[in-house]
């Protein structure tokens, strides 16, 4: 979700507090707070296969009950900006990266955003606003240039589809009448239920491994949480995170941008097991969206220009400046698992 969406979600969280609804772990993020598991997976009579590492019912409690929307609630989709997803090729020389064959994969008025490649790179999952109140998950197939609808959730919207390591499933943020939970779906959109019942409102997330989620939880300020899905435990580990959270290739660590209100923003490494963080690279000024390539290069945009940070160089170097095509600034970025394709979200011109 973009910065305007962040504001909507923050207002929604504030409304819930004013209405007296329990904070549900998100109104005030306390670093030492831990969500206790209510029981082991599979003891609630669900029909989830025994081989499934997650319970059909979240381990931290029964599935969340979604009541009426609070007064004044506005779905995030209502103010989603008009954006397109562009796909191109990444080529590496001995000293630099190059962007080739960039083309608009969605090219329509409306919100197409939050791209994420499938583990085998055969599909790009993304979120599309189907009307002014709802978003669903779609996928783009680079081999055929076909676009397919994945979810058809009439009572909720999905955001930030992200495949779960080791599973034939992806997770997404499910927004329903002002409540935001981390949810699980089969690769073709099958509803597999909530991942956590008590951690909310979740805005963004990534997976450190097959069981550990790292989540941006809305609040004032927002906080970064780690959660063990099969165990049903979660705790806050950092404050002032940005929305772009990624597993660092080849590791069990996760990166995020820390955005303190009166200091420089840095891309930081988080060890989910210990909660320890360390700085990796200074973010480009006031920028929070980035992605990793498999070899450890970080890609980040500033306006219509794409930059790369390479560990051996230790600074940001220009990859491509797309200002000449007049098609808008770059925000979110995704790179295919083999590092050969890149997806860029850009503002839609006009």
Give me the tens of pLDDT residue by residue for the chain, a chain 350 residues long.
Answer: 544 444 434 334 443 433 333 334 333 333 333 333 333 333 333 334 447 888 778 999 998 889 999 999 999 999 999 999 999 999 988 778 999 999 999 999 999 999 999 999 999 999 999 999 999 999 999 999 999 999 999 999 999 999 999 999 999 999 999 999 999 999 999 999 999 999 999 999 999 999 999 999 999 999 999 999 999 999 999 999 999 999 999 999 999 999 999 999 999 999 999 999 999 999 999 999 999 999 999 999 999 999 999 988 889 999 999 998 988 999 999 999 999 999 999 999 76
293 close to 304: Cβ distance less than 8 angstroms = no
* Structure token pair of residue 268: 């930081």
Domain extent listing, the chain? 3-33+82-248+338-347
Instruction: Give alpha helix (H) positions in the chain.
Output: 3-18
Specify the pLDDT at position 350.
Answer: 66
- CA angle in degrees (0–180, nearest 5) for 285-317-306: 65
What is the predicted pLDDT for the residue at 31? 35
Query: Residues of the chain with pLDDT > 90: what percent?
Result: 78
- Cα(224)–Cα(260) distance, integer angstroms: 13
Q: pLDDT value at position 35?
A: 36
pLDDT at 109: 96
CA dihedral 260, 275, 243, 125 (to 10 degrees): 170
339/307 Cα distance (integer angstroms): 16
pLDDT for 240: 98
User: What pLDDT is stored for residue 349 in this prediction?
Assistant: 79
Under 8 Å between Cβ of 343 and 124: yes
pLDDT score recorded for residue 312: 84
Name the token pair of 293. 């390539």
In terms of phi and psi (left: phi > 0; alpha: psi -120 to 50; beta: otherwise), the region of 166 is left
Query: Virtual CA dihedral for 300, 77, 211, 13, nearest 10 degrees?
Result: 100
Q: In the CATH scheme, what is the homologous superfamily, with its name and number, of domain 3-33+82-248+338-347? A: TolB, C-terminal domain (2.120.10.30)
For residue 167 the two structure tokens come to 């599973």
DSSP three-state, residue 15: helix
Token representation of residue 19? 């209405």
Please, which residues bridge with residue 135 across strands? 129
Are the CB atoms for 306 and 98 separated by under 8 Å?
A: no
pTM assigned to the model: 0.86
Radius of gyration of the chain (CA): 19
Residues 284, 60: Cα–Cα separation, whole Å? 38
Angle (CA) 273-247-143 rounded to 5° is 150
Query: Vertex 125, ends 74 and 191: CA angle to 5°?
Result: 70
Cβ distance 94 to 119 under 8 Å?
Answer: no
């Amino acid at each position: 979700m973009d910065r305007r969406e962040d504001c909507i979600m923050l207002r929604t969280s504030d409304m819930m507090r004013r209405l007296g609804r329990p904070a549900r772990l998100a109104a005030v993020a306390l670093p030492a707070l831990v969500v206790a598991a209510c029981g082991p997976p599979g003891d609630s009579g669900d029909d989830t296969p025994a081989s499934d590492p997650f319970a059909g019912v979240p381990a931290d409690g029964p599935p969340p009950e979604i009541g009426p929307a609070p007064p004044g609630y506005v779905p995030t989709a209502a103010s989603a900006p008009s954006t397109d997803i562009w796909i191109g090729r990444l080529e590496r020389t001995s000293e630099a990266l190059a962007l080739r064959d960039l083309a608009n994969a969605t090219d329509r008025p409306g919100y197409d955003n939050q791209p994420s490649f499938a583990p085998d790179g055969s599909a790009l999952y993304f979120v599309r606003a189907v009307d002014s109140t709802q978003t669903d998950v779609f996928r783009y197939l680079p081999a055929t240039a076909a676009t397919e609808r994945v979810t058809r959730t009439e009572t909720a919207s999905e955001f930030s589809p992200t495949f779960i390591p080791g599973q034939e499933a992806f997770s997404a943020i499910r927004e329903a009448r002002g409540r935001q939970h981390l949810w699980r779906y089969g690769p073709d959109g099958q509803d597999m239920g909530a991942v956590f019942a008590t951690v909310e409102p979740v805005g963004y997330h990534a997976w450190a491994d097959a069981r550990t989620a790292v989540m941006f939880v809305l609040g004032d300020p927002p906080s970064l949480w780690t959660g063990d899905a099969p165990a049903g435990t979660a705790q806050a580990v950092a404050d002032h995170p940005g929305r772009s959270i990624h597993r660092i290739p080849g590791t069990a660590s996760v990166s995020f941008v820390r955005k303190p209100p009166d200091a420089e923003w840095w891309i930081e490494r988080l060890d989910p097991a210990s909660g320890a963080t360390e700085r990796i690279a200074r973010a480009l000024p006031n920028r929070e969206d980035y992605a990793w390539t498999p070899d450890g290069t970080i890609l980040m945009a500033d306006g219509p220009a794409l930059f790369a940070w390479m560990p051996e160089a230790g600074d940001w170097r220009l990859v491509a400046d797309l200002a000449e095509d007049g098609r808008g600034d770059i925000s979110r970025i995704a790179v295919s698992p083999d590092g050969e394709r890149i997806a860029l979200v850009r503002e839609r011109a006009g």
